[in-house]
Chains A and B, each alone.
Chain A
Amino acid sequence: MDEFFGTLFGSTPVSQQLGYLQAALLENIWETLYSTALATFFSYVIGLPLGIILVAGEKNGIRPLPRPLMSVLNFVINILRSVPFLILMIVVMPLSRLILGTSIGTEATIIPLTIAAFPFVARLVEGSLRETDAGVIEAAHAMGCTPFQIVRKVMLPEALPSLVTGFTTAAITILSYGAMSAAIGGGGLGSLSIVNGYQRRMYLILYVTVILLVILVQIIQSVGTWAANRLDHRGGKSRKTRLRVRFNDPIHLEIGPDEQDGDGEKHRSEKGGFQ
């Protein structure tokens, strides 16, 4: 019997692991939540305007911007999206030191998370805004809207359900990448599961943290889907949120999860994730 529990829960006695969990769990849940929330917030602070610019500023957009500017913007976003997250975290360390005075710890993970996520968010927003019916924008033009009014009163509200769906995807992706923050000493459920659960072979801790992460993701997704449907007045077919979370989504630790996403549905692999 002891043998069995030994392989299942690791060599550390279960009671010791439970004690550890009791002491550390709440704090780590909190760290996960607040680093995810802040990183998501800052990603949108940067990514939302960029997404708007990507749509409004293109050649046939409502406020065309100089072509070179758009090319540079697209290029930068693509570059940032192609740098693996672990490498980005290390590269960004000096920046974290500059802004926060420290390059390690939970706070310090927020900066690389934001930098990795805002280009992803910009693309998500871009995708949502492109769904706006061209006829409605034309009607807005005919009614004498300024470009700013079209963005604020037509494009954003019309795309709201889709934006909320994208927001849910972004938050979950950021949550899952936050798990990697153990690499630079960040706290949270991810690091609890990696450092204590996996590396120190306290498997009970591993299981509990992973289950908690799964539950968190399920909650975020459910709330997101509910909100998107609630906000959707466009009626009828096809518009309902189709994003579903796969079980292992939040706990990817490998670099370049897109490769592992072979089983993902098409829209998932299109949207990908940031790396």
Chain B
Amino acid sequence: MIELRHVSKVFPTADGELRALNDINLTIGDGDVFGIVGMSGAGKSTLVRCINLLERPTQGQVVIDGKDLCALPEKELILQRRAIAMIFQQFNLLMQRTCLKNICFPMEIAGVKPTEAKKRALEYLGIVGLPDKADAYPAQLSGGQKQRVAIARALASDPKILLCDEATSALDPKTTRDILRLIQDINRRLGITVVVITHEMAVVEEICSHVAILDHGVLQETGTVEEVFSSPKTEAGRRLVYPDGVVIDQLPAANVIRIAFNGGSSYEPLIASLAIDCGVKANILGADTRNVNGQAFGTMLLGLPDDPDQIARAMNYIKNQPNVTVEEVRDYHG
């Protein structure tokens, strides 16, 4: 389990202090695939680098399996780091080593016997689907293949935690999906806790079980992907989940309700049955739903006729649907 307790990070810069992280409290459970999303400059990289103390928090504690890393002496910390693997946007492979030797690297560092290391490295190459690239140098690989080698290298240290900092941001969509699939597979097969840093919600949808939203160094909200995606509670959350979605301020003053789908069917049948079963003709003002792990999530804004009776019937009907919540929208300005 990874616990960040009141973690703050302040960078001294030429024009004063820069508070990159502000009192972050976060718990990441074993076996989770935990997404941390935020706009560029939100502090995501800083946050993930605090987990293995590449960046030392200015304040707060980083507790992994009950051990406060910040309190450890340097030697001990180096040992702890070996259980926390990391992959990067730019892959960061050793260009002067073959793929096999790259994968051997963490084992070499940890003092595993060369023959044993080589044997295991070949296994990991197999796991990431590049059994024939053992003797190739990174310069001879495509981006996706490089990231696979980097993942194999990460696995070679037999980690409990895998940190991915924008691991797919340099890859095309198809390769991104393949790499994410691989990470997910590793998470499921080996039970490794995965922390995924990204600015792409699609990545979170694809593999994450939990997500935290970071904005200007502040943790805005956190929860399961289902919770956060179906009804983001904060402005930063809404901005990320619906980048070009519903802008409430511009809606006309009417009887507007917001329906949140938490993983049921899509919205068309609901609107149809609303008309047929209740005789209420709803006006779709805006909608942003998406498919997450095969379930529908998102919100929709409906404008209802100016009739209290119909409104009551509609609200009642929707409330009785499974996986749907409804609320009246009062925070719009006419």
Contacts and interface: CB of A to CB of B under 8 A. Distances in A.
Interface of A: 133, 135-136, 138-139, 141-146, 149, 153-154, 157-158, 160, 231, 233-236
B275 interface: no
Given A135-B88, A142-B81, A144-B81, A234 B96 contact: yes
Interface stretch (B104-112, B225-233, B302-310): B104-112
Contact of B92 (A139, A153, A160): A139
Contacts of A157: 94, 96-97
Contact of A233 (B81, B90, B110, B139): B139
B222 interface: no
10 contacts: A136-B92, A136-B93, A138-B88, A143-B85, A143-B86, A144-B78, A144-B157, A158-B94, A233-B97, A235-B95
Interface size class of B (residues with CB under 8 A): 20 to 34
B137 A143 contact: no
B95 A233 contact: yes
A47 to B, nearest CB: 22
B42 interface: no
A145 B96 contact: no
Contacts, number: 72
Nearest to A150: B109
A160 B109 CA distance: 20
B44 interface: no
A65 to B, nearest CB: 15
A145 B109 contact: yes
A138 B109 contact: no
B105 A143 contact: yes
Given A135-B88, A153-B108, A143 B93 contact: no
A236 B140 CA distance: 9
A236 B78 contact: no
A235 B140 contact: yes
A148 to B, nearest CB: 11
A236 to B, nearest CB: 6
Contacts of B157: 143-144
A136 B102 CA distance: 11
B86 A139 contact: yes
A113 B95 CA distance: 35
Given A136-B94, A158-B94, 4 more contacts: A136-B92, A142-B84, A153-B108, A233-B97
B137 A233 contact: yes
Shortest 10 CB-CB contacts between residues of A and residues of B: A235-B139, A139-B92, A144-B81, A144-B82, A142-B86, A233-B137, A135-B92, A234-B95, A144-B78, A143-B106
B96 A146 contact: no
